């Protein structure tokens, strides 16, 4: 049961941190997002956090509210618009990783009051990643342009991790865009490894393949973080 722990209490993160660490101040707004402890060592499932970040962005800049002002006929779909918008934000950073995550987590979910059907969410993500537009992407872009906010565009680079991961070695991440993009690359790689009949994957069971790919992603990201800290301290 310990593995399935989930605890979340809404709070003001900056206020709490300032209370416990004297002298700490922030010139940026902190965002509090959480996901089940079950995923703490499974970074490829952390793409859900990008979706939650999309909700924060929407709440802060009132994107969907402005959409409804601009297009009142969409009012019955207000909550669905929020989900579509957050999915697009997630896709702009993680590409098809959020698509594969949804397909894995809620493959056949029907439309309900709060969320659109999974198939519609997936179609929306596909449209965005393929550079197509639809009525939702169209209205989001109109609001964002009208408000002078940064455009929603692809903000990741998908690295080629095959040579490293096939040799069970972490990938050396070269940019912040690759930090996001490695999630997309890893989902794709995981699917390949699970079907592979080649060494080393043919000698490893499915559960272990899943663990190893997640661990290689985590170590690739951690190595970049600690190298940055070291370089900062020594430069």
Partner 1 sequence: MQLLNSTEIKESLLSTDDDSIFIDPIFEESQVSGVTVDLRLGYDFLVSVTTRKPYIAVGHENDHFPRSIGSYFQETRREIGDGFVLYPNQVVLATTVEYISLPQNVYIDVLSRSSYTRLGLHMNNMVQPGFRGCVPLELFNHGNNAIELVVGSRICQARFMKLDDNNSYLGNGKPRKYYGDVRPTVSKADMDNDIEILANISNAKNNV
* Complex with partner 1: residue 53 or 204, whichever CB lies closer: 204
Residue 216 binds partner 1, judged by CB under 8 A: yes
Q: 77: closest CA among 164, 14, 135?
A: 135
* 19, 41, 110, 174: residue in contact with partner 1 (rule CB under 8 A): 41
Cα-atom radius of gyration of the chain, to the nearest Å?
20
Alpha-helix runs per DSSP H in the chain: 13-20, 47-61, 63-70, 78-94, 96-105, 118-129, 135-147, 162-166, 176-195, 206-234
Residue among 71, 75, 83 nearest 120 (CA): 83
Quick one: which segment of 11-19, 71-79, 152-160, 197-205 binds partner 1 (CB under 8 A)? Answer: 197-205
Nearer to partner 1, 74 or 204 (CB): 204
Nearer to partner 1, 28 or 233 (CB): 233
42 touches partner 1 (CB under 8 A) = no
| Interface region with partner 1, contact rule CB under 8 A, candidates 5-13, 101-109, 179-187, 217-225 | 217-225
43 or 54: CB nearest partner 1: 43
CB 142 within 8 A of CB 66: no
Q: Tell me the site size for partner 1, rule CB under 8 A.
A: 25
Instruction: Count the neighbouring beta carbons within 10 Å of the beta carbon of residue 164.
Output: 16
Q: Is 138 in the site for partner 1 (CB under 8 A)?
A: no
Confirm if 186 and 217 have CB atoms less than 8 A apart: yes
From 20-28, 53-61, 114-122, 202-210, span contacting partner 1 (CB under 8 A): 202-210
Sign for the CA dihedral angle at 204, 210, 216, 219 comes to negative
Residues that bind partner 1 (CB under 8 A): 2, 41, 167-170, 172, 199-200, 203-204, 208, 211-212, 215-216, 218-219, 222-223, 226-227, 229-230, 233
């Amino acid at each position: 049961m310990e593995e399935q722990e989930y605890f979340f209490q809404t709070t003001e993160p900056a206020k709490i941190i300032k209370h416990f660490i004297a002298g700490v101040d922030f010139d940026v707004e902190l965002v509090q997002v959480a996901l089940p402890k079950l995923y703490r060592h499974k970074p490829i499932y952390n793409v859900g956090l990008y979706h939650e970040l999309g909700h924060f962005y929407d709440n802060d800049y009132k994107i969907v509210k402005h959409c409804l002002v601009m297009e009142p006929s969409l009012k019955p779909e207000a909550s669905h618009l929020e989900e579509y918008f957050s999915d697009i934000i997630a896709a702009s950073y993680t590409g098809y990783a959020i698509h594969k995550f949804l397909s894995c987590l809620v493959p056949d979910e029907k439309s309900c009051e709060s969320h659109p059907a999974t198939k519609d969410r997936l179609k929306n993500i596909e449209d965005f990643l393929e550079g197509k537009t639809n009525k939702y992407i169209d209205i989001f872009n109109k609001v964002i342009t009208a408000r002078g906010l940064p455009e929603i565009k692809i903000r990741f680079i998908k690295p080629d991790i095959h040579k490293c991961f096939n040799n069970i070695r972490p990938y050396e991440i070269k940019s912040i865009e690759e930090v996001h993009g490695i999630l997309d690359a890893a989902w794709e790689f995981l699917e390949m490894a699970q079907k592979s009949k080649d060494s080393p994957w043919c000698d490893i069971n499915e559960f272990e393949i899943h663990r190893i790919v997640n661990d290689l992603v985590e170590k690739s990201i951690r190595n970049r973080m600690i190298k940055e800290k070291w370089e900062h301290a020594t430069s």
